[in-house]
């Protein structure tokens, strides 16, 4: 306990001072890291804690992004109001979609659960692609700009921090709560959970909705920062990202996936900057991760310590 406090304080200070130390370009990257850290951690609530492997989690990241984009661009609201509401709107939209998808998906387990999430995501992808009037089709929605001072990277960074940190804290309390213990029991032995008097399906659905809602928030945060959203965010290959980040960081700790997200984003930026073959690099990294470093980065750190 005593070692964690100075580390936490140091980390908090570093996060707060960051915009003063780096260029605008890297502030954008830092914002991306925050959004993807939230995305990865919320995904891990489902995987590392609940034991449910979703093949279609990018659906919620994408829904959140589209919800924010539509609110800002097409709802006809004052820009300030739209901006104030977009995080909530994104979470609500993602939660609603997650409730529908989850209701059907948690009735099955394992592979069938995964394939159901995949099917629903592809359904949403097709809609995003075809409903050109609403979603802009293949062109997506572009020109998303936060109003006034929020358009400045440093300001948006603090805004993203102000959303991400409390969101992560809420998720932390969730997994440390009695509900969180039930989730971990669900991962360990779902059938046994039934026989301690708990309705398995409803708890799995709740975890699914919460995980989806926070993924939606992450998607919206990122969309507003990058200024656009595209249907490709909903394509099935996009669902690899949260899994990679979570496993890279380590699924057995709460913040492991956040670390994985940071490493992933930075790697992506650095490699994409030098070559167009980022997918190839990512594939090789994944292979190395899966074959050589299964416990992720946090697992590596733990092994070093003992």
Partner 1 sequence: MMSAAVIPILQVTALAKRFGGLQALGGVELAVAPGEFRAIIGPNGAGKSTFFNTITGLLRPDSGRVIFEGRDVAGTAPHLLVRQGMGRTFQITSMFPDLSVRENLQVALLAHARRNWSIWPYARQMHTERAHELLHLVGLAGDAGLPAGTLAHGDQKRLELAIALAGEPRLLLLDEPTAGMAAQERIESISLVHRLATQLGVSCVFTEHDMAVVFAVATNITVLHQGRVLAEGSPAQVRANPLVQQVYLGESITSEGVCR
Partner 2 sequence: MQSLLETFAQHFAWMHNPVVVARQALAGISNGMLLFLIAAGLSLIFGVLRIINFAHGALFMLGAFIAVSLSGWLPDGSASFVAMLIGATAGLAVIGVAIESGLLRRIYRAPHEFQLLLTFALVFILGDAVKLIWGNQDHSVATPPLLVGSTQALGVTFPTYRLFLIAAGIAVALGLWWVLHKTRWGIFVRAATMDRAMLGALGVNTRVLFTTVFALGAALAGLGGALAAPVVSIGPGLHVQVIIDAFVVVVIGGMGSVMGAFVASLLVGLVNAFGILAFPGLSVVLTFACMAVVLIVRPWGLFGSPE
Chain residues that interact with partner 2, rule: CB under 8 A: 47, 53, 55, 104, 107-108, 110-112, 114-116, 118-120, 122-123, 126-127, 130, 235-237, 240, 243-244, 246-247, 251, 277, 279-280, 282-284, 286-287, 289-291, 294
Q: Which is nearer to partner 2, 93 or 128 (CB)?
A: 128
Find the length of the chain. 306
Phi, psi of 207 (to 5 degrees): -60, -40
The burial class, CB within 10 Å (0-12 / 13-18 / 19+), for 7 is exposed
Q: Which is nearer to partner 1, 45 or 129 (CB)?
A: 45
Q: Which is nearer to partner 2, 23 or 202 (CB)?
A: 202
Residue 175's closest CA among 203, 196, 155, 136? Answer: 203
Distance CA(177)–CA(164), nearest Å, equals 20
Q: Which is nearer to partner 2, 148 or 294 (CB)?
A: 294
Residue 244's closest CA among 43, 26, 102? Answer: 43
Number of residues that bind partner 1 (CB under 8 A): 24
Q: Taking a C-beta distance cutoff of 8 angstroms, is the pair 224, 144 a contact? A: yes
107 binds partner 1 (CB under 8 A): no
The burial class, CB within 10 Å (0-12 / 13-18 / 19+), for 139 is exposed
Least CB distance to partner 1 at residue 174 (A): 5
Least CB distance to partner 1 at residue 178 (A): 4
Site for partner 1, residues 176 to 235, rule: CB under 8 A: 176-182, 184-185, 187-189, 191-192, 194-200, 203
Least CB distance to partner 2 at residue 9 (A): 33
Q: Taking a C-beta distance cutoff of 8 angstroms, is the pair 51, 234 a contact? A: no
Q: Is 229 helix (H, G, I), strand (E, B) or coil?
A: strand
Distance CA(149)–CA(88), nearest Å, equals 20
Binding mask 147-176 for partner 1 (x = CB under 8 A): --------------------------xx-x
Q: Binding partner of residue 203 among partner 2, partner 1, none, CB under 5 to 8 Å per kind?
A: partner 1
Contact set with partner 1 (CB under 8 A): 173-174, 176-182, 184-185, 187-189, 191-192, 194-200, 203
């Amino acid at each position: 306990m005593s070692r964690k406090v100075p580390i936490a304080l140091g980390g908090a200070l570093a996060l707060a001072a960051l915009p003063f130390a780096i260029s605008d370009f890297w502030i954008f990257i830092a914002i991306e890291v925050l959004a993807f850290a939230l995305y990865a951690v919320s995904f891990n609530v489902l995987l590392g804690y609940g034991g449910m492997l979703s093949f279609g989690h990018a659906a919620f990241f994408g829904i959140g992004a589209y919800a924010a984009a539509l609110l800002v661009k097409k709802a006809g609201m004052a820009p300030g109001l739209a901006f104030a509401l977009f995080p909530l709107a994104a979470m609500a939209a993602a939660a609603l979609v997650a409730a529908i998808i989850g209701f059907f998906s948690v009735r099955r387990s394992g592979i069938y659960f995964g394939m159901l999430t995949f099917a629903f995501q592809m359904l949403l992808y097709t809609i995003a692609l075809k409903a050109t009037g609403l979603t802009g089709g293949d062109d997506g929605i572009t020109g998303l700009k936060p109003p006034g001072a929020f358009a400045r990277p440093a300001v948006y960074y603090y805004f993203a921090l102000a959303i991400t940190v409390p969101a992560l804290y809420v998720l932390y309390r969730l997994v440390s709560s009695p509900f969180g213990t039930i989730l971990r029991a669900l991962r360990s032995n779902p059938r046994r959970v039934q026989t301690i008097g708990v309705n398995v399906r409803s708890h799995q659905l709740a975890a699914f909705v919460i995980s989806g809602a926070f993924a939606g928030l992450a998607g919206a945060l990122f969309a507003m920062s990058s200024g656009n959203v595209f249907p490709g965010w909903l394509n099935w290959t996009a669902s690899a990202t949260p899994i990679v980040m979570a496993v890279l960081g380590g699924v057995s700790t709460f913040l492991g996936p956040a670390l994985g997200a940071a490493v992933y984003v930075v790697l992506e930026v650095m490699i994409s900057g030098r070559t167009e073959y980022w997918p190839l690099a990512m594939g090789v990294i994944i292979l190395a991760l899966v074959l050589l470093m299964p416990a992720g980065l946090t697992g590596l750190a733990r092994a070093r310590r003992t």
